[in-house]
Structure 1
């Protein structure tokens, strides 16, 4: 009986306790905070990636014929113009081959001329009945054969002349000589690398970028290459379509906005800089609530938590809130969603 009486007493006291607790909770004091319009808080963070200037063409100039290297003309570190002679291979054998092919052409021309004259004479004899039609057909065949022989010999002459031209190697474009491998007196064969040239003028900037930053780079209004205290405007050329492992980056190529001539020599290192075009909120106004990272905004006299997709602790986060939003910039660390504020 005593236990039953105690239980009844507790049940009777419970509603009174609830009635006392509810007003206390409803009367929780408003949290003192500070707010600012979102337009005064947003930033456009600067991004940077390591980059280097590379030539558009870096060619290994190789021998195309077999022979003894007679002379080379430029040393490593020099600059050459398009068409400038780099190497001469002994041309004696190639000149003899040209002379031989020319003689064969001359002989073919003489034989063709003789065959054509004989054919014309035989036509007159056929008309007079002194020459048969079969014999005339044979004359026509001889002329056709001589013409074929002349065409073959002319092709052989063109080949010999081309081989002679290949004995002299010329720069395919204006370039800087990166390496000279040619040595006077050595025997070279087709494929032997004699020079390494880097094209001057139309250089490009190469860099590796995280896939998450590609969209911002594409939309950036201004991109610059910074090296040795100098900045040069850039324009985006292309973004590689594959992500390299294990760095998980994509290659981007950019060119100098100044025009065809590069203001920075190939091989220079620096960094590519640009500002994110999308507004971001600084890391100090972000808070974590549960599994989400976001910010508190003012809605009347209460604070509301707004999660920001993709936000990371310690980094500015992209935001797309309305321009009139007032953002809690002080006191947000202790706030809960729906808390009264003042």
Structure 2
């Protein structure tokens, strides 16, 4: 397996549980699970964090608008599996828990009406609509309350740093071999030589494997081109601000685990701190105007948020497939699978992706 983000590590764990002998390769396996920036500013995008480390671990599954198709099925299945994953991965050495609920603020009266309809249709899944009157009376500090909001009791987030730590701990217990290296070349099995895939690592080691699963985000396309498979993807930049709130202002017990306003995610932590983040910028270079739009919530930020001090900023690039829906879950040829290009939903869709990978591996 190539790639050890939430998707790759999650797939490795579930494949090992199914009895497969798994080797996981990723240069990031030697790096600490940290988001510490360079002194004086954010991590530069060109040296930014991988998708999982850079993310806030947002789980927006059941608030998804569509009620059919692959995108909805993957979200629905992942939300069914996440409680099981969290329970199994939660250990004293690597604590892990789901944080709920999630509240999505309506940006217009029309969106508020759509949210009301969706809440009525999915009441059994824990969705309910909060009217503007309810929001202003019970949650006066929440931004963007003019048109109501959709609350999902099961959506929310899972800490991506804790998730990767728990997965690595569990992979050690499952005897998954973890190699901190990059794959330089891949060779197909040949009938006259071997039935195994050949992987040449930058450490000089050469691996031979029966099946190969690539979960390497943007690096996947480079590896696959060697095998004449064209799965183009584009980078999309995500940024997060860690904000210190003014004295006297702190998200209280009435705040959800995640509040989404104008497409931006607000996540309270450490009593009077708030993460504010989104993945919206095409390319790998940051746009100051987009960062300003996020910090001001497109002009919807209340005074207390505008007065917050930026403590830290980090960036990371996600992979979005070109001209194809995300994610890419495909068997490209016998023994070669790809599970990548999850765009903003790598953490969310990790369980359903791992289930897919296990089902395909058993068929080969």
TM-score when normalising by structure 1: 0.20
Name the structure where strand makes up a greater proportion of residues: 1
Q: Which of the pair has more CA radius of gyration? A: 1
